[in-house]
Structure 1
Amino acid sequence: MPLTLFNLRRLFKNIFILINILVAVCLLFSYTAVFINPAKFWIPAFFGLVYPYIVLVNILFVLYWFVFNAKYSLISILAILVGFGFLGNYVQFEGEKAPKEGIRVCSYNVKYFVADGVSPKMATVEKVVQYLEDGKFDIICLQEANITSQSFRMDAIKTKLGNINRMQVVRSSRTGGPVTYTRYPVAGTGEIQYENTGNMIVFADLIIHKDTFRIYNCHLQSNRLKPHELNTIDSLRYTNKPKNYDKVKKVGSKLKQAFIKRAEQARILDGHIRNCPYPVIVCGDFNDTPVSYSYRKVRGDLKDAFVESGHGIGNTYNGRLPSFRIDYILHNPVFESYGFETGREKLSDHFPVHCVLTLKNNQ
């Protein structure tokens, strides 16, 4: 039978339907990433990582079918609706304005103050300090802070922050890690150390309004992808050389191991939070997106400040893939969050995040 124009159109339509079904299935599969421990089955974690791109392709299919054959738009619409709640973890349309009074909290991975270079820069330190000073924050959680530089010291930074008079520096590292600054009295401090990694967590018990609260400053397992490995991923857009796919396998292996390590670290942190006698605030760089097992494990019954009071797209990673939200401020439900914002200062490979927390019984 000759391939008529009608048959050709029907063929293309069927191909589009099959592709649409495949993309919708990928979206449904990405939802399972939050429930399945990567140590047991790691493939869903990769789909969870690229969830924003999968949902975007599904939205494009919905728009396409609205124009050409509306009934087929249900394929993607139903897939999106099944996990509609996940969208709010990435995009918020109405944020709560910050009140004048409250606890101003900031979390910022400063990448050892190297900015776009390979060594710490005093100019970067000064710009970061200026940002923190302008924010007049009451609690500041820095990750990947350089604590051994001869050019500057973390306690010197504290003296430049007029609102800050106390500091907790990670003690188990000789080079750097999480550093917490605060203006509140500190009743106690501690660390959660993980095996075979430089990633760690520090926590401090703060006395706020005569009550005690615990602040966790977290830096979960890094992917440790080097610039040339990111270049390999980019090169796939332009070439299909087999050697590039071998390199991609190595990148995939690194991501897999990082997923598994973060899941275990999140499990340990979750247990620590559950045994904490005080309401908690959890800040830091989780190195994982909201559609991930580790995020769900750490969040538990806590509130996500971005979801509660953010607006716009919540990406916090200032890198090759800017759709990623991997920096968080989570809090106990005794707090309410207002005015969550993601700064756009390009002083690190992360953007800073901050919000104002108020105690519900103080309103």
Structure 2
Amino acid sequence: MFFLNIVAASLLLVSVLASYVSPAVAWIIALFGIAYPYILVLNILFLLYWLIIRDKAFLLSLAIILLGYSNLKNQLQLDLHAKPKLDPEKAFKVLSFNTRLFDLYEWSKKTDTKKRIFELIQAEDPEILCIQEFYTSSTRPGFDNLETLKNIRKKPFVHMAYTDTKRGSDFWGIATFSNFPIVRKGNILFNETTNNLCIYTDIKINDDTIRIYNAHFQSNRLQREDYEFLGNPKNKKEKWLASRNILYRIKTGSIKRSKQVDVVAAHIENSPYPVILCGDFNDPPSSYTYNRLRNNLKDAFEESGRGFGNTYNGLIPLLRIDYILHDKKLKSADFKVMEEDLSDHYPLSCRLQLTGK
């Protein structure tokens, strides 16, 4: 049992290191970062076992769990402290959502998914709305999502950027909507052919300027058939091929993502204004992606969230890959994840307030 505990503790230690080692240097470590919550649970079980039989061996797992405490609090909030309170006159709501192209390809197999997405946005009524996987068409009936959102929000301030355009009328990309005037727009392009992008939008709130980053980083591009094929192989050869395919996708995705993240992190460090970073990171809190971008920013989930904060609506449970991070000159409150079955991501929101000039 102690030998097995050593193995489990070693795996947990490697998963903690995933936050600090770039996948471009050692991509295999990123795998353990993804598995951090499950390896953590295993070590907690070992800790409880040794405590029950009153053996000092419990100190092994306890030491590694405490070593990775920063990872743990980024994954789980137990609501043990008072949540921040904001001035209703000065606070504003931010909502971030990967809409999966407003169900363009009917993944949900429900005819009303796009309508329900718009209803949710209208009901939440955020002052700042960041959408990843944005799609709109000026010619396809019923798919002018840009015009629909403009009508819902009744606000003229929009920043859009596209990674793909077809027929001069169909656009795929990313979009930020603001109730506040936009004074500057910019795109952060990656030095590769990709459908991923980050944009920044400077908005004027009274006498202050805040920079909103809206990011969508490289995914691992795992398909449903990858999971199904791995779980129900016809023979060992097929299982090996499926495993190799998944590992290749994770390797490629994590290396590309780390390079994109380095570019955006450097840009944020040079921002002349307080920063809000929203987006689909495609990586958990126990990752190089999160740790590199978090840097001197606060995590709205850690400030006022509850539970596990999982944002991925897919086959992997407890996976948190969407975030709202913000400058220390801002306070956040009322963070929530809306577990609505509208996309393969859940929308998330919080209220923010600038604490100083």
Q: Same fold (TM over 0.5)?
A: yes
Q: Find 1:246's aligned residue among 241, 246, 249.
A: 241
Question: Which residue identity does 2:56 align to in structure 1?
Answer: K
Match of 2:210 in 1: 213
Match of 1:260 in 2: 255
Listed one character per residue, the Cα deviations across residues 231-284 of structure 1 (whole Å, up to 9, x for unaligned) are 133337xx8723212211111011011110110000000111122211111000
Q: Find 1:159's aligned residue among 150, 164, 169.
A: 150
SS at match of 2:25: coil
Q: Find 1:345's aligned residue among 325, 331, 340.
A: 340
Match of 1:90 in 2: 75
Match of 1:185 in 2: 181
Q: Which runs of 5+ in 1 are unaligned?
A: 1-15
The answer as to whether partners of 1:122 and 1:151 remain within 8 angstroms in 2 is no
Q: Find 1:52's aligned residue among 37, 47, 51.
A: 37
Q: Which moved more, 1:309-318 or 1:65-74?
A: 65-74
Q: Compute the RMSD of aligned alpha carbons.
A: 2.0
SS at match of 1:214: strand
The answer as to whether partners of 2:274 and 2:329 remain within 8 angstroms in 1 is yes
Q: Which moved more, 1:46-55 or 1:70-79?
A: 70-79
SS at match of 1:125: helix
Match of 2:168 in 1: none
Q: Which runs of 5+ in 2 are unaligned?
A: 166-170
Q: Deviation above 6 Å: which 4+ runs of structure 1? A: 119-122
The answer as to whether partners of 2:108 and 2:343 remain within 8 angstroms in 1 is no
C-alpha distance in 2 between matches for 1:150 and 1:287: 32
Listed one character per residue, the Cα deviations across residues 194-239 of structure 1 (whole Å, up to 9, x for unaligned) are 2121111122110012211110110000111121112133337xx8
The 3 A distance-change label for structure 1 pair 310 and 343 is same
Give 1:181 deviation, angstroms.
1.0
The 3 A distance-change label for structure 1 pair 222 and 309 is same
The 3 A distance-change label for structure 1 pair 144 and 25 is same
Give 1:154 deviation, angstroms.
2.7
Alignment of 1:192-341 (within 5 A): 192-194=188-190, 195-235=192-232, 241-341=236-336
The 3 A distance-change label for structure 1 pair 177 and 121 is farther
Give 1:49 deviation, angstroms.
0.8
Q: Which moved more, 1:55-64 or 1:90-99?
A: 90-99
C-alpha distance in 1 between matches for 2:109 and 2:327: 35
Question: Which residue identity does 1:257 align to in structure 2?
Answer: T
Question: Which residue identity does 2:136 align to in structure 1?
Answer: I
The 3 A distance-change label for structure 1 pair 143 and 56 is same
Aligned length: 345
The answer as to whether partners of 2:11 and 2:39 remain within 8 angstroms in 1 is yes
Question: Which residue identity does 2:20 align to in structure 1?
Answer: F
- State the identity %: 37
C-alpha distance in 1 between matches for 2:154 and 2:84: 22
C-alpha distance in 2 between matches for 1:243 and 1:214: 49
Question: Which residue identity does 2:187 align to in structure 1?
Answer: E
Question: Does 2:108 correspond to 1:113?
Answer: no
Match of 1:138 in 2: 127
The 3 A distance-change label for structure 1 pair 121 and 97 is farther
